[in-house]
A and B are shown apart, each in its own frame.
Chain A
């Protein structure tokens, strides 16, 4: 409810407010904007995860942040933030925040720093960047980023002359899905994914644990779908929360998902349960697909997946019965076993033949606002990028691969001396806990001439930096507009609710200050971010003033259609204009044009597959110190099946360390949670714990870091993703060993 309405209602109904009549009249006469300022409500969008829900920061009469609530108009959250967004205030109040710039005083890894002024910090970065540029070329500066601050540093690094820029959210997360969908439908799915879950009659979750991963609007819509009686089918070796809400839970043997998907396709094609008209009008390669899947019968899949043939048939029938209002959820974190692009191709194909593209309850056609950016001079053309260091691989990929940049930072006897990465900017991502194989990340760091970390918290990566730049939290700064795709195009504003605490600054300001020092002023034309925002907003007929009041604005064009008429021809962004069931592009790169199942290694006797996932109250490793969120969950637990616990004589809450197949023993210990919800051949933990930086006083040493245990990385040959689920662990019961 709008504050204004609330005042009216309060006046009429309760008269309970301690406000006299005249003051009340005065309040009603005030503009909404003044009113909000008086009651201390400022628009923001959340930075605790990538979903970026829009909300309001409430400041009490003492000028202290009280709470954050959702913006009713926002399609990402519909007025309801998730627990992390609600607990986002903890990121502001966290006593362990980075408070001032830091400069390292001895060798890397010793974690000795001195406090520095912004001048000193920038002086040092400027000098080192120039040295690297002279010695190796500007391309030798790389950027890893996540979150809002990344954009400004992308601008800086590109203006400096490098395109070695990567987001771990690609090669460690969504990459296989995006490449698979791009090579099927001609477009990646992007974020938020255009899934019409609320009207879906059948939602298939395969390795996606909605409800534990709080992709806000999707969780809300899954709940709507449950209310409307939708059938939910969950494929997961673990009895996830979503599995417990499902009509069918398929407790699949880990690492066999492609076999199940192929047999579903087999059943749907051979029973003629696919959407014939849609396939005929909109798909290429159906006959090849049909031939290809003939061998993949439910009986064949049963031997691999342990899912009974009749269950495979029954669930396929459910999908058919619901079609086109059916969704095989494409997931988000999809880097599992190295054949992930192929698995996601199978997901894309299954969706395609059910004819759910552009259909109610399937995939809707998203709309995104077009917000012009101020015209900048062209960026200098780099002489090389990370792609030139991979020996001609990954041609289907146009986004940076973090792991390839790490590789390019480690000189070997064969590596090209003219193409070395020597300086890293790491903005808003804790590479130590984000990239698999921590040891290799640290090795790369030891070869660098410069490592700058920009963060709000003393995350592990900052301990390895030469210069640490403390960013203020999202509640203390402006940021670029959120311009996201959704059912309706919309924009959202983030503005500060309070002044930055300590000696912290917005990333926008940092990137610009460095740009000015490096002679790149032309790329930073605005003096303040407010000017830039106002310029952009005026270009689309709004203004900063309006957005401060509204927070979110829907800017949908009347001609935008959410769905395409059933049976019509749709123009896909592929060579033939049709969906590529058979991918000639993937074939041209030397890979199978249709998805195939490959068996993956199994755990040896006494070892268990390490599975990991999300908890609703944490985002990756970045919230593990947030005081409000650690109050809800302050460590991860190791899920162990009771039978296995019995064999090992493990007790509930007993501390154990883990040892993986490569002999790596976890730094810290983790408590055992004995539960029937996990298969006997795997163990499970929530990702993001086991922090090793003692400056994180809440998170330090609590639980085990799954990342530390992931030393076997199964590289996806198609797009370079780092498959992380091929690791096996055993228990070390003597935790002091």
Chain B
């Protein structure tokens, strides 16, 4: 099993519902976030293009954060989901330094926190909170190893890109373009 997520930039409107839904689902304190929205404009008026992207941890195959964690707090769960065991984390922030996507933050309680692909929901057969709430239904989540999964199909049928592929972390957050 290899979990991944894809975001359709042609449908995302940049509303940030994914951000607030993650905050309320995962008790992320106000002022912090596990996911965020990026807006990129190109061109000059009136020849313009705009891309909205909802970004978060890419749950990389080759996760720099996991490799550099001195306590083993940052580790991989089944399906390749990268999580931090809060109790083990000493807040040294080595992982924050190593992540090319700036996906981690230090929680006011002292540990490092980040997107978990909503592991607690996935274990219950639910989709991640952000995927479930997105009003444009532009987010896909599932198992890359299952060719019948929604995500496998959408990645097969659509063009996509990765963020900073040159970092070599083999990210599993895809952007449909």
Query: Which of B17, B43, B124, B137 makes the CB contact (< 8 A) with A10?
Result: B124
Which residues from A are CB-within-8-Å of B124?
6, 9-10, 14, 16-17
B171, chain A: closest CB distance, angstroms:
25
Task: Please measure, in the bound complex, the distance between the C-alpha atom of A119 and the C-alpha atom of B16, giving whole angstroms.
Answer: 43
A residues 1-53 near B (Cβ < 8 Å) are 1, 6, 9-10, 13-14, 16-17
A residues 60-103 near B (Cβ < 8 Å) are 66-70, 79-83, 86-87, 89
Query: Is B60 among interface residues, defined by CB-CB distance under 8 A?
Result: no
Q: 7 tightest A-B contacts by CB? A: A211-B13, A244-B50, A616-B15, A223-B136, A67-B24, A83-B17, A251-B46
Task: Please measure, in the bound complex, the distance between the C-alpha atom of A69 and the C-alpha atom of B10, giving whole angstroms.
Answer: 25
A680, chain B: closest CB distance, angstroms:
8
Query: Is B1 among interface residues, defined by CB-CB distance under 8 A?
Result: no
Q: Is the CB of B125 within 8 A of A219?
A: no
Q: Is the CB of A239 within 8 A of B45?
A: yes
Task: Please measure, in the bound complex, the distance between the C-alpha atom of A219 and the C-alpha atom of B10, giving whole angstroms.
Answer: 13
Q: A6-B125, A244-B49, A251-B45 are in contact. Are A216 and B24 (CB under 8 A)?
A: no
Which residues from B are CB-within-8-Å of A67?
21, 24-25
B100, chain A: closest CB distance, angstroms:
25
Q: Is the CB of A617 within 8 A of B135?
A: no
Q: Is the CB of A220 within 8 A of B137?
A: yes
Q: Is the CB of A616 within 8 A of B19?
A: no
Query: Which of A10, A79, A245, A616 makes the CB contact (< 8 A) with B16?
Result: A616
Q: A66-B24, A241-B50 are in contact. Are A632 and B45 (CB under 8 A)?
A: no
Question: For B16, B17, B50, B123, which residue has the most chain A Cβ atoms within 10 angstroms?
Answer: B17
Which residues from B are CB-within-8-Å of A79?
132
Q: Is the CB of A617 within 8 A of B16?
A: yes
Q: Is the CB of B48 within 8 A of A676?
A: yes
Query: Is A449 among interface residues, defined by CB-CB distance under 8 A?
Result: no
A587, chain B: closest CB distance, angstroms:
38
Query: Is A414 among interface residues, defined by CB-CB distance under 8 A?
Result: no
Q: Scan A626-644; emit 1 where CB is below 8 A from any B CB, else 0.
A: 0111011100000001100
Q: Is the CB of B24 within 8 A of A14?
A: no
B125, chain A: closest CB distance, angstroms:
5
Q: A16-B123, A227-B11 are in contact. Are A81 and B45 (CB under 8 A)?
A: no
Task: Please measure, in the bound complex, the distance between the C-alpha atom of A13 and the C-alpha atom of B126, giving whole angstroms.
Answer: 12
Q: Is the CB of B10 within 8 A of A211?
A: no
Which residues from B are CB-within-8-Å of A82?
15, 17, 135
Query: Is B133 among interface residues, defined by CB-CB distance under 8 A?
Result: yes
Q: Is the CB of A628 within 8 A of B13?
A: no
B85, chain A: closest CB distance, angstroms:
17
Task: Please measure, in the bound complex, the distance between the C-alpha atom of A219 and the C-alpha atom of B134, giving whole angstroms.
Answer: 10
Which residues from A are CB-within-8-Å of B136?
211, 219-220, 222-223
Size class of the contact patch on chain A = 35 or more
Q: Is the CB of B30 within 8 A of A628?
A: yes
B13, chain A: closest CB distance, angstroms:
4
Q: Scan B37-52; emit 1 where CB is below 8 A from any A CB, else 0.
A: 0000101111011111
Task: Please measure, in the bound complex, the distance between the C-alpha atom of A245 and the C-alpha atom of B19, giving whole angstroms.
Answer: 22
Query: Is A675 among interface residues, defined by CB-CB distance under 8 A?
Result: yes
Q: Taking CB as reference atom, which chain A residue is nearest B23?
A: A628
Q: Taking CB as reference atom, which chain A residue is nearest B120?
A: A16
A residues 178-216 near B (Cβ < 8 Å) are 211-212, 214, 216
Q: Is the CB of B24 within 8 A of A68?
A: yes
Q: Is the CB of B41 within 8 A of A241?
A: no
Question: For B23, B45, B134, which residue has the most chain A Cβ atoms within 10 angstroms?
Answer: B45
B164, chain A: closest CB distance, angstroms:
23
Q: Is the CB of A676 within 8 A of B45?
A: yes
Task: Please measure, in the bound complex, the distance between the C-alpha atom of A223 and the C-alpha atom of B17, giving whole angstroms.
Answer: 15
Which residues from A are CB-within-8-Å of B134?
80
Q: Is the CB of A223 within 8 A of B11?
A: yes
Task: Please measure, in the bound complex, the distance between the C-alpha atom of A80 and the C-alpha atom of B15, giving whole angstroms.
Answer: 13
Which residues from A are CB-within-8-Å of B115?
none
A residues 215-246 near B (Cβ < 8 Å) are 216, 219-220, 222-224, 226-227, 239, 241, 243-245
Which residues from A are CB-within-8-Å of B45?
239, 251, 641, 676-680
Q: Is the CB of A89 within 8 A of B16?
A: no
Task: Please measure, in the bound complex, the distance between the C-alpha atom of A583 and the C-alpha atom of B50, giving whole angstroms.
Answer: 42
Which residues from A are CB-within-8-Å of B123?
14, 16
A253, chain B: closest CB distance, angstroms:
11
Query: Which of A83, A212, A214 makes the CB contact (< 8 A) with B20?
Result: A83
Which residues from A are CB-within-8-Å of B16?
83, 616-617, 632-633
Query: Which of A17, A86, A211 makes the CB contact (< 8 A) with B21?
Result: A86
Query: Is B79 among interface residues, defined by CB-CB distance under 8 A?
Result: no
Q: Is the CB of B20 within 8 A of A675?
A: no
Query: Is A249 among interface residues, defined by CB-CB distance under 8 A?
Result: yes
Task: Please measure, in the bound complex, the distance between the C-alpha atom of A408 and the C-alpha atom of B58, giving whole angstroms.
Answer: 61
Q: Is the CB of B126 within 8 A of A245?
A: no
Q: Is the CB of B23 within 8 A of A6?
A: no
Question: For A16, A67, A675, which residue has the most chain B Cβ atoms within 10 angstroms?
Answer: A67
Which residues from B are CB-within-8-Å of A245?
10-11, 13
Task: Please measure, in the bound complex, the distance between the C-alpha atom of A220 and the C-alpha atom of B48, giving whole angstroms.
Answer: 24
Q: Is the CB of B20 within 8 A of A87?
A: yes
Which residues from B are CB-within-8-Å of A244?
48-51
Q: Is the CB of A9 within 8 A of B125?
A: yes
Query: Is B108 among interface residues, defined by CB-CB distance under 8 A?
Result: no
Which residues from A are CB-within-8-Å of B138?
223
Q: Taking CB as reference atom, which chain A residue is nearest B37?
A: A632
Q: Is the CB of B43 within 8 A of A13?
A: no
Q: Is the CB of B23 within 8 A of A212?
A: no
User: Please, could you name 24 A-B residue pairs with CB atoms under 8 Å apart, sorted by A?
Assistant: A1-B126, A10-B124, A17-B124, A80-B133, A81-B133, A81-B135, A83-B15, A86-B24, A87-B24, A219-B13, A220-B137, A223-B138, A227-B11, A239-B41, A241-B13, A244-B49, A617-B15, A617-B16, A628-B23, A632-B16, A641-B45, A675-B41, A676-B45, A680-B45
Question: For B10, B19, B50, B136, which residue has the most chain A Cβ atoms within 10 angstroms?
Answer: B136
Q: Is the CB of A69 within 8 A of B133?
A: yes
Which residues from A are CB-within-8-Å of B41?
239, 675-677
Q: Scan B93-127; emit 1 where CB is below 8 A from any A CB, else 0.
A: 00000000000000000000000000000011110
Which residues from A are CB-within-8-Å of B24?
66-68, 86-87, 89, 628
Which residues from A are CB-within-8-Å of B80?
none
Which residues from B are CB-within-8-Å of A243?
48, 50
Q: Scan A675-702; emit 1 where CB is below 8 A from any B CB, else 0.
A: 1111110000000000000000000000
B113, chain A: closest CB distance, angstroms:
16
Which residues from A are CB-within-8-Å of B14?
211, 241, 616
Q: Is the CB of B133 within 8 A of A13?
A: no
Q: Taking CB as reference atom, which chain A residue is nearest B22?
A: A86
Task: Please measure, in the bound complex, the distance between the C-alpha atom of A80 and the C-alpha atom of B21, giving whole angstroms.
Answer: 10
Q: Is the CB of B25 within 8 A of A6?
A: no
Q: Taking CB as reference atom, which chain A residue is nearest B125?
A: A9
Task: Please measure, in the bound complex, the distance between the C-alpha atom of A243 and the C-alpha atom of B45, giving whole angstroms.
Answer: 12
B residues 134-154 near A (Cβ < 8 Å) are 134-138
Task: Please measure, in the bound complex, the distance between the C-alpha atom of A369 and the C-alpha atom of B132, giving whole angstroms.
Answer: 29
Q: Taking CB as reference atom, which chain A residue is nearest B17?
A: A83
Q: Scan A585-622; emit 1 where CB is below 8 A from any B CB, else 0.
A: 00000000000000000000000000000001100000
Q: Taking CB as reference atom, which chain B residue is nearest A223?
A: B136
Which residues from B are CB-within-8-Å of A680?
45
Query: Is B31 among interface residues, defined by CB-CB distance under 8 A?
Result: yes
B157, chain A: closest CB distance, angstroms:
12
List 19 other contacts, CB 8 Å, given A616-B16, A631-B30: A6-B125, A69-B132, A69-B133, A80-B132, A80-B133, A81-B135, A82-B17, A89-B24, A214-B15, A220-B137, A239-B46, A239-B50, A241-B52, A244-B48, A616-B13, A627-B30, A628-B20, A629-B20, A641-B45
Q: Is the CB of A6 within 8 A of B126?
A: yes
Query: Which of A80, A629, A677 makes the CB contact (< 8 A) with B48?
Result: A677
Q: Taking CB as reference atom, which chain B residue is nearest A70?
A: B133
Query: Which of A219, A224, A631 makes the CB contact (< 8 A) with B31?
Result: A631
Which residues from A are CB-within-8-Å of B52?
241
A377, chain B: closest CB distance, angstroms:
44
Q: Is the CB of B20 within 8 A of A632?
A: yes
